[in-house]
Amino acid sequence: MEQYLFDTLPDGPFSKLRKLVSGITPKLSLLDMSIGEPKHPFPSFVNQIIVDNMAGFGKYPAALGIEPLLNANANWLNNRFDLNNKIVKDQHISVLNGTREGLFNAALLAIKSNPTVKPLIAIPDPFYQVYAAAAMAGQADILFMPTPQSAGFLPVLEHISDADWQRMAVFYICSPANPQGVFADEAYYKKLIALARKHNFFIFSDECYSEIYSDEAPISALQVALNEGEFKNVISFFSLSKRSSLPGLRSGFCAGDKNFIARFKMMRNIAGAQVPLPLQHVAAAAWSDETHVIDNRNKYNQKFDLVDKILGTMFGYTRPKGGFFLWLDMAEHGGGIKAAQDLWAYCGIKSLPGAYLSNLAAEDDADQTYADPKNETASRYLRLALVGSLSDTEEALNRIVKYYSTVEGAS
Ligand SMILES: Cc1ncc(COP(=O)(O)O)c(C=O)c1O
């Protein structure tokens, strides 16, 4: 039988989840915490800008972005990360139709046309599934990098062999990390950037959660790259989906290494997914406003305050530094897959088993070794997205605590 490039692409996490819970009727009303889809109100200026620019739906959009949007992106980036205005809108920025397609398409520009060895794309595990699809499209080998709690939930750079660094084409990093909410700090980025420059690979730094944080704002890989002289080898990805609760707008951008960006823009000018003109005008306004972002962040922090209060230290919970996920250790309750089934059946809560975000070979196998503390894989964990209202969040947390304290005895 013919074989095609994506034949071995695994089922996505949400279709696995559908299969897992199909046939189980929950005893309580549904509280969906499975998908990281922001649900806070988006900024009030959105509607009017669309109305004012409606005629733009009758035109093909500027593939490389309208001036006001490129200006807004460059200003935001320079201000947010103190980049000394080194980001120049025509050189360092590429507008994206959301970071998802950008993270995918950019990988194609990182693969050499005449590789003497098969390229390698490194992906943190657990991971956002697009990274793996991108590696498959680039016909690269994938290096799944474990992110154990004992290493601060980040890939351990020292565990990667010289041979692997030598054929590395792309190193994906997500900071704040989905799902664990940790940040890569300056020292981490510095080490990684030195390796990227030594072995000439690209760091794709997925920073789409950069504006959702608790106390301290995360730094960008771009800041560290600049401290190390220039943006070379580093591309960071940003989005309005989480920052402005506009996942349906499909607007983001990436920025960094100007030679890479020039090649990327050349390709996107012909084959890129354009953002409709009225939506580019909305995006320009959204990147220029911080009031709604602060309000949005406060809403997440109110929910994390509730989690601190209601969960305390149950399920190994500690408040994440960023992002909007709970990453709960359910090893004592049968692991993430069993917990997702139980929460669905007995609490009406839809959640995502950590295994479904991972490259675990036997993710559907109930016989996981998650109970062994040395097993730090995602199979121990359950991901809950804090995207609902404050009252739904409180209700969900209370149901979880009640279920595990009365049925099993909480950890
Ligand atoms: C880690 C991560 N990266 C990228 C994305 C894509 O976001 P968007 O395409 O909406 O910008 C998501 C969405 O959930 C995500 O969780």
Using only C-alpha atoms, what is the Rg of the chain?
A: 21
Query: 209 and 116, same structural domain?
Result: yes
Helix (H) or strand (E) holding 197: helix 186-199
Query: 246 and 150, same structural domain?
Result: yes
398 domain residue, yes or no: yes
Domain endpoint, select from 273, 289, 305: 289
1 domain residue, yes or no: no
Rounded to an integer, the average pLDDT of 146-168 is 96
Mutate to test the pocket of ligand 1, among 37, 94, 178, 208 (most ligand atoms within 8 A of CB): 208
Backbone dihedral angles phi then psi of residue 271, each to the nearest 5 degrees: -125, 10
Cα of 409 vs centre of ligand 1, distance in Å, is 36
Q: How far apart are CA 105 and CA 21, in angstroms?
A: 33
Task: Give yes or no for a contact between 135 and 142, defined as CB atoms under 8 angstroms apart.
Answer: yes
Query: 211 and 178, same structural domain?
Result: yes
Task: Give yes or no for a contact between 267 and 108, defined as CB atoms under 8 angstroms apart.
Answer: yes
375 domain residue, yes or no: yes
5 domain residue, yes or no: no
* Residue 233 CA to its chain's centroid (Å): 20
3 domain residue, yes or no: no
Number of domains in the chain: 2
Cα of 239 vs centre of ligand 1, distance in Å, is 8
Query: 161 and 132, same structural domain?
Result: yes
Cα of 96 vs centre of ligand 1, distance in Å, is 12
Backbone dihedral angles phi then psi of residue 3, each to the nearest 5 degrees: -120, 140
Query: 240 and 326, same structural domain?
Result: no
pLDDT in tens, 332-346: 999 999 999 999 999
Cβ of residue 260 lying under 6 Å from some atom of ligand 1: no
CATH at residue 159:
3.40.640.10
Query: 374 and 268, same structural domain?
Result: no
Could you tell me which residue, 178 or 368, shows the higher pLDDT? 178
pLDDT in tens, 88-129: 999 999 999 999 999 999 999 999 998 889 999 999 999 999
Domain endpoint, select from 289, 321, 336: 289
pLDDT in tens, 367-393: 555 566 678 889 999 999 999 999 999
CA-nearest residue, atom 6 of ligand 1: 100
7 domain residue, yes or no: no
Query: 129 and 71, same structural domain?
Result: yes
* pLDDT for position 362: 46
Domain of 199, in residue numbers? 46-289
Task: Give yes or no for a contact between 25 and 386, defined as CB atoms under 8 angstroms apart.
Answer: no
Cα of 176 vs centre of ligand 1, distance in Å, is 12
55 domain residue, yes or no: yes
CATH at residue 374:
3.90.1150.10
Burial (CB count <10 Å: 0-12, 13-18, 19+), residue 68: middle
